[in-house]
Amino acid sequence: MDSLLVFLFFILFVGLIARYIGYIIQEKKERELLQTVTSLNRGSISERELLLKLIKEGIPVSTIFHDLYLEKSKGFYSQIDVVVATKVGIIVFEVKDYSGWIFGKGYQTYWTQILAYGEEKYKFYNPVIQNQKHIETLRHRMKQCANVPFFSIIVFYGNCTLKNLSSIPEGIFISYPNKVSDIINSILENNPPVSYTNKKEVVNILKEAVVNGNNPEIQIQHIQNIKRIINKA
């Protein structure tokens, strides 16, 4: 009996070690994948999870741009989570982390987060409008993309439930992480290929915006600008 217990504990121990080694190997592979697009400490954990999903879905890493700071006017920047340039247009992602219930309409300035079974309510800026402004900035900078479609995908991470979201304009998608692949495939399959007037210029603008995100001065200025806007609201 004692020998049997020792053997069972040994098998259990070996299994745990094998699982741990597998986890370490998987984590290493995912770090290497991420580094083909971004640095490991850049953006939020949820943004990096989205990037991994895109890479694993076969989206070419050369078309994925993360944590962009695109200049709107002198000293003012639009911070964009993820941009993917595709054959049918440009997909712009806004990543959110929330818990609780989320309510809102496409045209409302603020949406509502409800926690503790209705005991706590918080307002946050409408991500539909937020991402549309990102797209407007991109269009303004990339004049050669006047005839190129832009698609907005807002992804909600965290333990949240999207409730009664309505009046969402066409071409805007609100999703949980597990539905992102379906949305991307639908966009790629249901839209015709587009002609980029100057692909190199588009890529250079997006790359420059990514480089801006590594500039501490730009980051600090952006945070200060946001604080001023919030204080005026």
Q: What is the tens place of the pLDDT at every residue in 110-123?
A: 999 999 777 899 99
User: Does residue 5 surpass a pLDDT of 60?
Assistant: yes
What pLDDT was estimated at residue 230?
60
Q: Does 30 share its domain with 60?
A: no
Q: Does 6 share its domain with 83?
A: no
Mean pLDDT of 5-10: 72
pLDDT grade, residue 64 (50/70/90)? very high
Q: Does 49 share its domain with 10?
A: no
pLDDT averaged over every residue in the chain: 89
Q: Does 55 share its domain with 87?
A: yes
User: Does residue 56 surpass a pLDDT of 90?
Assistant: yes
Q: Does 185 share its domain with 103?
A: yes
Q: Does 21 share its domain with 104?
A: no
Mean pLDDT of 160-189: 95
Q: Does 127 share its domain with 61?
A: yes
Structural domain total, the chain: 2
Mean pLDDT of 172-179: 96
User: Does residue 155 surpass a pLDDT of 60?
Assistant: yes
Of the listed ranges 8-12, 97-101, 213-217, the one predicted with least confidence:
8-12
Which percentage of the chain shows pLDDT scores above 90? 64
Distance (Å, whole) CA 87 – CA 48: 23
pLDDT grade, residue 74 (50/70/90)? confident
Range of the domain at 135: 42-232
Q: Does 17 share its domain with 94?
A: no
Q: Does 144 share its domain with 70?
A: yes
pLDDT one-digit tens code per residue, 20-31:
787 788 888 889
User: Does residue 232 surpass a pLDDT of 70?
Assistant: no
Q: Does 96 share its domain with 185?
A: yes
pLDDT grade, residue 164 (50/70/90)? confident
What pLDDT was estimated at residue 107?
94
Query: Which residue pairs, CB below 8 angstroms and at least 24 apart, start in 187-196?
Result: 187/86, 187/88, 187/89, 187/91, 187/151, 188/86, 188/87, 188/88, 191/88, 191/89, 191/149, 192/88, 193/87, 193/88, 194/87, 194/88, 194/89, 194/147, 194/148, 194/149, 195/147, 196/144, 196/145, 196/148
